[in-house]
């Protein structure tokens, strides 16, 4: 169910009112605690300032209409969408969020005119309602474990004026993972006599070592037939793949530990493909490594100016996790499974404060779990790259 301009007073979004009288908080997303989060903890001032990109001051270079031309999109309960929302001030945005209590907040481009007043401009007959600025976005799927994945979104602010064609060209430069049909197992094809210098550096300096030293064992890629078959499916020569499969099936009862089996089978695969007998498979090792380690970009997110992006510090409507900025200088240490959650880390701590010291402490609570992400330079500086992560169910 989706309506573009649904009025907030035409539907029930509050649900059943419940009194907060216990510290027992359910896991995952909870609409009642979402109201507490928006009312007391959501960093609305910092959020609005970030989207202003320096246009919230009084200096002569400020474009006072800048933020007011930015589209906000709210997803309410029962998948009701409110598109083309706009706000001229923090207070206006805050009041709207508190009133509507959106399950999800997305941000769109900056338009040539106020998106909330687009119909008035449409009557002129001229195409004046167009996107003029949009952060360049790279939406990268990450695999934390065999059963847990998420997304990292890299936002580049300094080139927000690029058109769709320019965005597509930049994104295509980085892309190696080609999305094919359901029956297409091999999705990375590295062609040419030599690798592009950018890809060669990526493979030598980062990907190869990460695959062999960390991913191979942590993901147990060769520990079972189900897992190593996925790698064998990336070998275009069926005879070679069958030869390796039969070898590994034949010695599956050996005393080799799972740790040794992963390293041993990987070395056997490399030795077979690089033996010189199969010249057409020279790039297969690199293609396997790229398939498992190179960023998988959602090209549509990067290409289009009008694509909606989940806002920082909103709550994932299924997992209850906060969508947080991360420090690009320390991204190796970032664990998406430890980000604050609506129930366990944020509201439960707030409730505990209120029970100990009354409602005053509830209002004054700074939510340390959220504050540490607000203090990151990558979020505070509007001229730097912004990185944020969220985790789907």
Please name each of the domains of the chain with its CATH number: 8-176+298-390 (3.90.920.10), 197-294 (no CATH)
**pLDDT for residue 265:** 94
Give dist(CA 277, CA 281) in Å, integer.
9
**Is residue 70's pLDDT more than 70?**
yes
Give dist(CA 131, CA 118) in Å, integer.
12
- 99: three-class secondary structure by DSSP: helix
**pLDDT for residue 32:** 81
Rounded-to-10 torsion of CA 283, 288, 291, 292: -150
The predicted model gives 13-29 an average pLDDT of 42
Give dist(CA 339, CA 312) in Å, integer.
13
**pLDDT for residue 116:** 93
**pLDDT for residue 10:** 35
Given phi > 0 = left and psi -120 to 50 = alpha, else beta, which region is 375?
alpha
Rounded-to-10 torsion of CA 82, 32, 68, 60: -170
Give dist(CA 292, CA 173) in Å, integer.
19
Give dist(CA 343, CA 134) in Å, integer.
33
For the stretch 235-292, pLDDT in tens is 989 999 999 999 998 765 555 665 688 999 999 999 999 887 777 787 899 999 999 9
The mean predicted confidence, pLDDT, of the chain is: 77
Per-residue pLDDT band for 344 (boundaries 50, 70, 90) equals low
Highest-scoring range by mean pLDDT, 22-31, 116-125, 178-187, 340-349: 116-125
**Is residue 352's pLDDT more than 90?**
no
What string of DSSP letters covers 351-377? HHHHHHH-HHHHHH---HHHHHHHT-H
**Is residue 375's pLDDT more than 80?**
no
**Is residue 18's pLDDT more than 80?**
no
User: Could you tell me what percent of the chain has a pLDDT over 70?
Assistant: 72
Q: What are phi and psi of 191, to 5 degrees?
A: -105, 170
**Is residue 379's pLDDT more than 90?**
no
**Is residue 80's pLDDT more than 80?**
yes
For the stretch 192-215, pLDDT in tens is 778 899 999 999 999 999 999 999
**Mode of pairing for the β-strands spanning 104-111 and 324-325:** unpaired
**Is residue 145's pLDDT more than 70?**
no
Higher pLDDT, 172 or 392: 172
**pLDDT for residue 39:** 86
Q: Which of 308, 317, 368 is nearest to 153 (CA)?
A: 308
**Is residue 347's pLDDT more than 50?**
yes
**pLDDT for residue 228:** 94
């Amino acid at each position: 169910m989706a309506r573009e301009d649904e009025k907030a007073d035409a539907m029930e979004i509050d649900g059943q009112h419940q009194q907060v009288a216990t510290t027992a908080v359910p896991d995952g997303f909870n609409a009642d605690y979402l109201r507490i989060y928006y009312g007391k903890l959501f960093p609305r001032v910092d959020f609005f300032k970030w989207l202003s990109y320096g246009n919230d001051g009084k200096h002569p270079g400020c474009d006072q209409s800048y933020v007011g031309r930015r589209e906000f999109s709210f997803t309410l309960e029962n998948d009701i969408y409110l598109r083309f929302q706009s706000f001229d001030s923090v207070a206006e945005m805050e009041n709207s969020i508190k009133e509507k209590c959106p399950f999800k907040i997305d941000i769109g481009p900056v338009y040539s005119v106020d998106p909330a007043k687009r119909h008035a401009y449409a009557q002129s007959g001229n195409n004046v309602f167009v996107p003029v600025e949009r952060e360049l976005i790279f939406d990268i799927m990450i695999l934390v474990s065999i059963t847990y994945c998420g997304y990292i979104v890299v936002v580049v602010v300094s080139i927000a004026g690029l058109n769709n064609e320019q965005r597509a060209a930049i994104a295509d430069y980085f892309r190696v993972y080609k999305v094919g049909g359901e029956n297409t197992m091999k999705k990375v094809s590295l062609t040419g006599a030599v690798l592009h210098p950018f890809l060669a550096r990526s493979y030598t300096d980062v990907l190869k070592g990460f695959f062999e030293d960390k991913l191979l064992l942590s993901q147990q890629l060769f520990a079972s037939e189900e897992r190593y078959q996925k790698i064998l499916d990336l070998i275009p020569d069926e005879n070679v793949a069958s030869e390796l499969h039969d070898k590994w099936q034949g010695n599956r009862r050996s005393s080799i530990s799972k740790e040794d089996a992963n390293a041993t089978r990987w070395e056997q695969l490399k030795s077979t493909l690089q033996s010189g007998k199969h010249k057409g498979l020279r790039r297969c090792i690199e293609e396997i490594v790229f398939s498992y380690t190179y960023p998988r970009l959602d090209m549509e997110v990067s290409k289009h100016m009008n694509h909606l992006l989940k806002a920082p510090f909103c709550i994932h409507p299924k997992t209850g996790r906060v969508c947080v900025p991360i420090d690009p200088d320390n991204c190796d240490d970032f664990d998406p499974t430890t980000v604050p959650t609506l129930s366990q880390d944020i509201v439960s701590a707030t409730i505990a404060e209120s029970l100990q010291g009354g409602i005053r402490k509830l209002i004054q609570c700074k939510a340390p779990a959220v504050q540490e992400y607000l203090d990151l330079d990558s979020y505070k500086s509007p001229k730097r790259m912004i990185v944020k992560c969220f985790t789907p169910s």
